Each structure stands twice: as structure tokens, then as C-alpha cells.
Amino acid sequence: MNLEYNFQHRIIPKWVYTTPQFFNDLINCGEQTTLYRAAKKFYEDNNTEFPYKEEDYSGFHTRLDVDTVAVCLRFPTPAETPLCFCAFIFMDTKTNRLAYYTLEKGIDPIDSREMRFLCGWNNEGTHQEYGAYYVEKYNFGDIWLVRFFYGRFRDLRKDIGIPSQPKEENENTRVLKCPACKQEIIFDATDIKEGNELLVFCNSCGRIYHLKFENNEFLILNKIQEDKAEA
Ligand SMILES: [Zn+2]
């Protein structure tokens, strides 16, 4: 029995769907502490030496819209397939609907190359598969994942774009001054039309901004930040 597998693929999804205290602990005690304590206890309960340190776990949570909270859980770097790099819990705070999504280590069946897969476990214990995640293509990391799983959770018909970030300004670029750290966020606006929504990322302070292009202006709908210290 692989304890790490069971912890990430059996125990946590079970807690997500049946134990509200787990979600509350993640929010109130922090993702790192809660994950570390839970994993350590799980190993101890199974009479197995616990091989990880508290720093091997991390995470953050954020409100994505009026009714949606997302929690990111980062696990120790997966040594084997199909352990998870990270997982995301989404909660609809109005209906208490929950979802558990994972980014799993996998192997390309053709050339045995290491891959990452977008997956999840639903509340009936069924494994969901949403396709491959290409690190080199989606170099936005957590933003891309938050956006992808947010789309799954909300079944968004409208696409929330993630514009590229050109090194230099040109006629297609727009600049948003980060309200928090004042760094200029430069992004490519070539395909952005009136009414479109997009996520942009501040390289300086790590904040993500959910924008809407309206009346020829970029309105900030929401701010997403990894640092849980700031509410
Ligand atoms: Zn910033």
C-alpha cells in the first residue's frame, strides 16, 4: 500500500466531500500546517515512518468570485506516478458544493516521457481526467491551473483568457499598473474584445488580477493573491 497515494487520492477527497472540518482547518490554520499534520498522523496511524518535512507542503486560498473559494494544496515533489504535484479544492459558498482537482505525475505512453495530467475525484469516488498539462506551454503555473479548474467547476461557457506577457511594449500591448506594488503589468491585447474577461499576473508581487474589458477600459473584477497573510 502506497500511503502517499492513499493520502492524496483517497483520504483527502473523502475529507473534502464528507468532513467540513478539514476545509475549515485549511482556511483557519493554513494549508501548510494542516496538510503536514494530517499527513504525519496518517503515516503514524499506519505505523510507517513519515519521510517529509513541513516545508514540503504549502498552499494558499483565495476567493475567485462572490460565491467561489479555491484552495491550492501543494504536495512533496512526486517521486512516482500518479502522485500529485498539487491539488485544488473549489467550494461554492452559497450551495456548499465542492470539487477536488489534481495535477498528477504521469508517463507518456508513446515515448515514456514524464508528463502531468489534469484530473480530479468527484463526490462519488470516480476519477476524472481532463487531459495533459504542458509545463513548457502553460508557463503560468498556478494561475493557469486556477483558471482551468475554475472553468471546470463553474462550467464556464465564456472563456477567461490568459494573455501572453511580451517583453516590450508595442501597439498591441496594454499596461496595467499593479495597484498593490505599482509594477507595470504588460500584456498582449491583440485578441481581447469588448466584454472579454482575462487573468493577468504581476511578476513583482505574485498577485493575479481578474479583469474585464469594458468601455475600452480594463476593470479589476477580483484580485487573487497567494499570500494568505493579506485577507
Ligand atoms: Zn504587483
**pLDDT tens per residue, range 140-168:** 567 778 878 988 898 765 556 677 777 77
Residue 227 has pLDDT above 90, yes or no: no
Mean pLDDT in residue range 176-189: 90
8: DSSP letter = I
Ligand 1 midpoint to CA 141 (Å): 17
Confidence of residue 134 (pLDDT cuts 50, 70, 90): confident
Tell me which residue has cell 476545509: 23
According to the model, what pLDDT value does residue 230 have? 40
Tell me which residue has cell 472579454: 196
Ligand 1 midpoint to CA 207 (Å): 6
Contact 70, 87 (CB under 8 A): no
Ligand 1 midpoint to CA 201 (Å): 8
**Which ranges in 120-195 belong to alpha helices (H)?**
142-154
Average pLDDT, the chain: 87
Confidence of residue 198 (pLDDT cuts 50, 70, 90): confident
- The pTM score is 0.77
According to the model, what pLDDT value does residue 156 have? 65
Contact 75, 85 (CB under 8 A): yes
Tell me the three state secondary structure of residue 210: strand
Of 76, 65, 69, nearest to 20 by C-alpha is 69
Ligand 1 midpoint to CA 208 (Å): 8
Work out the number of other CB atoms within 10 angstroms of the CB of residue 12.
Answer: 25
Proportion of the chain above pLDDT 70, given as a percent: 90
Residue 183 has pLDDT above 60, yes or no: yes
Ligand 1 midpoint to CA 186 (Å): 12
Q: Between 206 and 184, where is the model more confident?
A: 184
Of 197, 171, 199, 196, nearest to 185 by C-alpha is 199
Residue 141 gets the label, from left (phi > 0), alpha (psi -120 to 50) or beta, of left
Q: Between 202 and 16, where is the model more confident?
A: 16
Ligand 1 midpoint to CA 137 (Å): 23
| Phi and psi at residue 74, to the nearest 5° | -105, 130
